[in-house]
C-alpha cells in the first residue's frame, strides 16, 4: 500500500552551490526537485557586485544538466564598501533578488562581512526604498557570547535596531534555530519572514555531541536544545505565511568536514523533500507542506508560485538514500536523519 501527496514544485530559499567542480556535482541534486533557489554569495572571493552575480549565474546555468529546469535567484554579499547604486541597478535588472548580511566571522567564508553596521546604512535605506529583501545570518560573533545564545543576542542587539531604524526594510531571518526567533517573527509585521532548514527540524545538539562528536551534524547556526527543535517544527508546520523552506544545504568534502577544525554545514539537497514529508506527517500537518515548501516563500519574495508540481509517495519499504555524492573535489556526505524514511519523490 502507498499514499501520496502532490504539491506545487517547491523552491529553496537558502542554498549553497559553491563553484567549479563542487557546483557541477551538487546542482543536479537541487534541480531535480526544486524550481528555484536563493543562491548564497559567500564564494571566495564573495559575490559583491551585480556584474559578479551575473557571471556566477552564468556559471550555474552552464553547469545545469540538459533537460533540467531550474532558476537560480542571485544575491549580493553585503560589505561595508557595497555601492547602493550598484545594488539598485542589479535589482532593477531582475538579476538580484536579495542582499545577504553576514556578520564578519559568523560562518563559512564570512570574513568580508559587516562589523560596523553604520557603514551599510545607505545600502539598507536604498533596499527599503526599492523593496529588496535583506537576508540575515542571525548570529553575533563576540567570543564572550555563548555559541548557543548568539541568535537570540543578534535579534536584540542587531536585527531589531536595524529594522526600527530602517522602516520598510524587508528582512528574511535565515535558518532560524530557536523559539526566540520564531516568537520574534510572529510578533512582527509582514515585512519579516524566516526560513527554516530541514536538518534543524530533525536534529538537536545531542545529535552533534552525545556519544561522540558527529561532524556531519555540525552546522552554523548550531542546533540547539530539544525545546527549540520542537518550536521550529511548530512554526514550520503551522501554515503561517512568514515561515518557509530554506535548506541551507551546504556541501563540504568529507576531508574538510572530518578534521580538527572541520567545516560547518549539512548537505540536505538530495533528500530534503522526503524528510519534510516525514516531519509534516509526524506533526499531523501534511496538508501544510505545500505552504511551507511551495507557496509562502514565493509570496514573500513577490514571485509567482511554480506552475509545475512534485509528487511524494509513501511506501511500506524504507527509502534508500545515497550516503555520498561524488565530486572531483572529493565525496560529500548526504545528511542522514538517523531513522527510516518511507517517503520518496515520485
Q: Look-up: residue for cell 564598501?
A: 81
CA proximity to 22, closest of 322, 343, 267: 267
CA proximity to 138, closest of 42, 221, 48, 79: 221
104-107 LR contacts (CB < 8 Å, sep 24+): 104/141, 105/141, 106/137, 106/139, 106/141, 106/220, 107/42, 107/137, 107/139, 107/220, 107/264
CA proximity to 11, closest of 225, 237, 306: 306
**Annotation says 248 is catalytic:** yes
Cα separation, 46 vs 39, in Å, equals 12
- Catalytic position from the list 11, 12, 240, 248: 248
Q: What are phi and psi of 336, to 5 degrees?
A: -105, 115
Q: Contact, 40 vs 15, CB < 8 A?
A: yes
Which residues are tagged catalytic? 248
Amino acid at each position: 500500500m502507498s499514499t501520496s501527496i502532490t504539491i506545487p514544485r517547491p523552491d529553496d530559499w537558502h542554498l549553497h552551490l559553491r563553484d567549479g567542480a563542487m557546483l557541477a556535482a551538487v546542482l543536479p541534486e537541487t534541480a531535480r526537485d526544486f524550481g528555484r533557489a536563493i543562491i548564497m554569495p559567500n564564494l571566495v572571493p564573495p559575490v559583491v557586485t551585480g556584474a559578479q552575480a551575473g557571471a556566477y549565474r552564468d556559471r550555474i546555468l552552464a553547469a545545469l544538466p540538459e533537460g533540467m529546469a531550474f532558476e537560480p535567484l542571485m544575491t549580493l554579499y553585503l560589505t561595508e564598501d557595497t555601492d547602493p547604486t550598484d545594488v539598485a541597478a542589479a535589482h532593477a535588472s531582475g538579476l538580484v533578488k536579495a542582499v545577504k548580511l553576514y556578520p564578519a566571522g559568523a560562518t563559512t567564508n564570512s570574513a568580508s562581512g559587516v562589523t560596523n553596521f553604520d557603514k551599510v546604512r545607505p545600502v539598507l535605506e536604498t533596499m527599503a526604498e526599492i523593496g529588496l529583501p535583506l537576508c540575515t545570518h542571525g548570529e553575533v560573533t563576540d567570543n564572550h557570547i555563548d555559541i548557543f545564545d548568539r541568535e537570540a543576542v543578534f535579534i536584540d542587539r542587531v536585527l531589531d535596531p536595524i529594522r526600527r531604524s530602517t522602516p520598510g526594510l524587508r528582512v528574511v531571518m535565515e535558518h532560524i534555530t530557536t523559539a526566540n526567533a520564531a516568537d520574534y517573527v510572529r510578533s512582527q509585521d509582514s515585512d519579516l519572514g524566516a526560513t527554516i532548514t530541514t536538518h534543524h527540524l530533525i536534529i538537536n545538539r545531542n545529535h552533534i555531541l552525545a556519544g561522540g562528536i558527529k561532524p556531519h551534524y555540525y552546522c552554523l547556526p548550531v542546533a540547539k536544545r530539544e525545546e527549540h527543535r520542537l518550536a521550529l517544527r511548530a512554526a514550520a508546520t503551522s501554515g503561517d505565511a512568514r515561515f518557509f523552506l530554506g535548506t541551507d544545504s551546504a556541501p563540504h568534502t568529507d576531508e574538510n568536514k572530518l578534521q580538527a577544525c572541520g567545516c560547518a554545514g549539512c548537505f540536505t539537497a538530495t533528500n530534503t523533500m522526503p524528510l519534510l514529508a516525514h516531519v509534516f506527517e509526524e506533526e499531523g500537518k501534511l496538508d501544510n507542506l505545500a505552504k511551507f515548501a511551495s507557496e509562502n516563500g514565493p509570496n514573500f519574495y513577490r514571485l509567482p508560485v511554480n506552475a509545475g508540481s512534485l509528487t511524494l509517495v509513501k511506501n511500506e519499504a524504507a527509502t534508500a538514500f545515497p550516503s555520498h555524492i561524488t565530486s572531483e573535489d572529493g565525496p560529500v556526505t548526504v545528511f542522514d536523519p538517523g531513522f527510516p524514511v518511507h517517503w520518496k519523490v515520485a
